[in-house]
Amino acid sequence: MSSSVLHQAVARSAQRFSLAPPALPPADWIDLAGTDLYEATPDSVRIATRAAVDAHQADHYTRRPGIAPLCARVSEHLAEHGVQLKLDNVIITGGLAEARFLAVRAYAHGRTVLVPATAAPADYVTLAGLSGATVHPWSPDDLPDVANPLVMLSDPDPATGNCLSAAQVARISAWAVARQALIVVDLSLLGVLRDPQAYTLLAADPAVADRVLMLGGFADLPGLDAWQVAWFAGPGAILGPALELKQAMTICSPAVSQYAALAGGAAERAAARASRSQRLAAITALLDRLGIPYLAPATLTYVVADVAALGGGAAVVERCAAHGVGVASGALLGDPNRIRITAIEHNLSEGLRRLEAALTTGTAQP
């Protein structure tokens, strides 16, 4: 790298923020490791979005927090889980990464940031580092004695797809009130729960609702990952810093993507659930056939398998990579003996063929 003042400045940043340029996957790689399901947007969503574009609804800045009907839809969705927030308490973000950054950067100042012991895809540790905050790991079963913390709580956990039990939620709620904690619940997988009725949302507890912020996406609709649209929400009394930061960062989110998220209806959601269930079943069928144990999936997106008998997560990840397929390593999940397999739409069959080869034939090439 050259030694110009510009290069020196970014070199310092790279070190300060642990930034490395993103690695590009090899050609012909199939990614069963990520959070992207590689789905296609439904035709009905495309048609409705094109109509919005033709009507020039995508041309201009939107209302700063987001288009009102989409904010209202998020509000209604949260109401289904017992959380009452007005549409003015919802900010539409340019994707989940931005929502997670808002959560940490807008609220970390002067607080200890408690991050999940199992690293989430967003890597809250790095985000807290960007904010200059002190970081402390935590888990729902090990609530630390820290006053006034900012708590990052992923439920369902994007690392594992697991949900907190009602008892865990109650314990966290009481602890949060006692410690004056501010909690951000990452709900990015709320829309893909296998059993929404069994889910307990922390913010629905009136005792703690005034200190809970939430973020999520539109995962119930297929194919919106590349459109970069998500949301951040919370009580009006504590939402201000996020709204200000969002404005300072990007003014508003892409209008075209907001209209796409608005376009999907019940039929698209039902079709997505059916398709995802089938894909999940394809993964579990393979694991059953190979005699590999796995956790009962809480969401329609991942299966977490126990590969201790195959040498552990790291060894299996390496074998899979040699076969041109990526699976998430156990290090992400807090258990080195596990791997996570994502139920992608595009190329799942080929991905599972390669996975089977990796799991049954060792390091042989595809």
Which residues are near another protein by CB under 8 A?
Answer: 1-2, 4-7, 9-14, 16-17, 19-22, 24, 36, 38-41, 46, 49-50, 53-54, 56-64, 94-98, 101, 105, 123, 126-127, 130, 132, 223, 225-229, 244-245, 247-257, 260
Nearer to another protein, 51 or 166 (CB): 51
Query: Nearest-CA neighbor of 180 among 203, 146, 154?
Result: 146
DSSP run (H or E) holding 304: strand 302-306
CA distance 127 to 101: 6
The minimum distance between CB 87 and another protein, in angstroms, equals: 14
CA distance 174 to 168: 10
The minimum distance between CB 127 and another protein, in angstroms, equals: 6
DSSP run (H or E) holding 339: strand 338-342
Helix (H, G, I), strand (E, B) or coil at 101: helix
The minimum distance between CB 8 and another protein, in angstroms, equals: 9
Nearer to another protein, 70 or 304 (CB): 70
Burial class of residue 45 (count of CB atoms within 10 Å of its CB; 0-12, 13-18, 19+)? buried
The minimum distance between CB 188 and another protein, in angstroms, equals: 12
Nearer to another protein, 50 or 81 (CB): 50
Name 260's Cβ contacts closer than 8 Å, sequence gap at least 6: 41, 45, 48, 49, 224, 227, 229
The minimum distance between CB 186 and another protein, in angstroms, equals: 14
CA distance 169 to 160: 17
Structure tokens at 254: 């892409």
CB neighbours (10 Å) of residue 24? Answer: 7
Nearer to another protein, 257 or 342 (CB): 257
The minimum distance between CB 31 and another protein, in angstroms, equals: 10
What is the distance between the terminal CA atoms of the chain, rounded to a whole angstrom? Answer: 37
Name 197's Cβ contacts closer than 8 Å, sequence gap at least 6: none
The minimum distance between CB 37 and another protein, in angstroms, equals: 11
Nearer to another protein, 229 or 332 (CB): 229
The minimum distance between CB 114 and another protein, in angstroms, equals: 19
Nearer to another protein, 24 or 237 (CB): 24
Query: Nearest-CA neighbor of 155 among 174, 140, 136, 173?
Result: 140
**Angle 236-250/96-107 helices, nearest 10 degrees?**
120
Nearer to another protein, 140 or 326 (CB): 326
The minimum distance between CB 305 and another protein, in angstroms, equals: 25
Q: Which residue has the tokens 């649209």?
A: 229
CB neighbours (10 Å) of residue 349? Answer: 10
Nearer to another protein, 260 or 300 (CB): 260
DSSP assignment of 1-51 equals ---SHHHHHHHHHHHHTT--PPPPPPTT-EEESSS---PPPPHHHHHHHHH
Nearer to another protein, 99 or 213 (CB): 99
Nearer to another protein, 138 or 227 (CB): 227
Instruction: Classify residue 294 by its DSSP letter.
Output: B
